[in-house]
Amino acid sequence: MDPADLPTLDPALADIVALLPDLTESLADVAGARAMLASFVPEGPVPGEELVETSEVPVGEAARVRFYRPRGATGRLPGLLYLHGGGFCLGDLDLEHGLAVELCHTLGAVVASVDYRLAPEHPYPAGLDDCYAALQLLAARDDVDAARVAVHGQSAGGGLAAATALLARDRGGPELCFQALGIPELDDRLDTWSMRAFTGTPMWSRPQAVLSWQYYLGGREADQYAAPARAEDLSGLPPAYVVTCELDPLRDEGIEYAMRLLQAGVSVELHSFPGTVHGSAIVRDAAVVKRMDAELVDALRRALAPDAAQA
C-alpha cells in the first residue's frame, strides 16, 4: 500500500506499510494464512524466558491454556487472562509466547494464554467457551489472588476479552477486576463510519472483517456474547482500558463501546493513538508503539496492584 494514501500515518510506520502486501483476501485461505503466521514464530528462547516457569493444561473440549508464572515468586499473585487476536480464525500459543513471557515477568503475574478453538472449524461459541473455562482455571489456582484477576486481548482477542467479562458478570463469576481491550473486534454489524470507510487499510480492512465474522458466527445470529457491541446493559462490568488506532476500521466500534461503558457507570480509560494502523505493534522501534506498550503495562500494573484490590 502507498503510505501517501494515508496522509495522517505516523512517519515511523510508513516503511512497513509500503512493504505490506495486499491483505484484502488474506482470510479467504485460512490454512494458508495460518501457515504464513507459523513462519513468523521465532526460533529459540525469547527475551525474559529464563524469568518465568510455564505449564500447559487442557481446557474445555479441545483447547489448551499455557500458564506463565514468575520464577521463584511466592504467595498469591495477580492473574491475567490473555486472549490472542487473529480474526477468530488465526493465532496460537507459540505466536503469543513472547508477549506472554513479557507480561508475566513485567507484571509479576500469573498469565494464562489461551489456545482457544478457532473458526471456521469451531464457530461461536466454541472459542468463547474456552476463554471462560480458562478464566475459571486461572481464578481457582492456589497461587492466584482471586481479587486481582484481569483479562486482556488484542483485536479479536479484545472482543473475546469483552465477551468474557460479560459472561463473568452474568454467570456470577469469576470476578474480574479489570478488562484491557486492545483494538477490539466487537460488532458484527460492520456499520460504523470507520468500518464503512476503511476498505483498503493495511493489516485489517472491511473485507477481512466481513470474512472474520462469517467464519466466527458460522451462520448463527450474533448475540451480545458473540458481538459485545450488541449488549444492551453494560453496567456492573469491570473498569476498562480501551485502545483504538486512528486508521483502523475497528476504531469507531472501540470508541463507541468505551463511551457506552462510561454511560453505564463503568470507569474507562480510552486511548486512540494518532497515525496508527491495525497491527502497528509489529514496528517495535516506533515511538508511538513504545508508548502504546508502556501505557498498557502501566494500566495493567495499576489495576493488579494489591492496593487496587483493597480499594
**Separation of alpha carbons 124 and 174, rounded Å:** 21
Is position 248 annotated as part of the catalytic site? yes
Say which of 113, 248, 252, 280 is annotated catalytic.
248
| CA trace torsion 9, 14, 16, 19 (10° rounding) | 110
Report the alpha-carbon distance of residue 251 to residue 193 in Å, rounded.
Answer: 9
Cα–chain-centroid distance for residue 133? 17
Active-site residue identified among 26, 113, 155, 280: 155
SS3 of residue 130 by DSSP:
helix
Buried residues in 67-77 as b, exposed as e (16+ CB within 10 A): bbbbeebeebb
Q: Which three cell numbers stand for residue 1?
A: 500500500
84 is catalytic: no
Question: By the 8 A CB rule, do 49 and 111 touch?
Answer: no
Q: What would you measure as the largest C-alpha separation in the chain, in angstroms?
A: 54
Counting Cα atoms < 13 Å in the Cβ hemisphere of 103 gives: 29
Residues belonging to the active site: 155, 248, 278
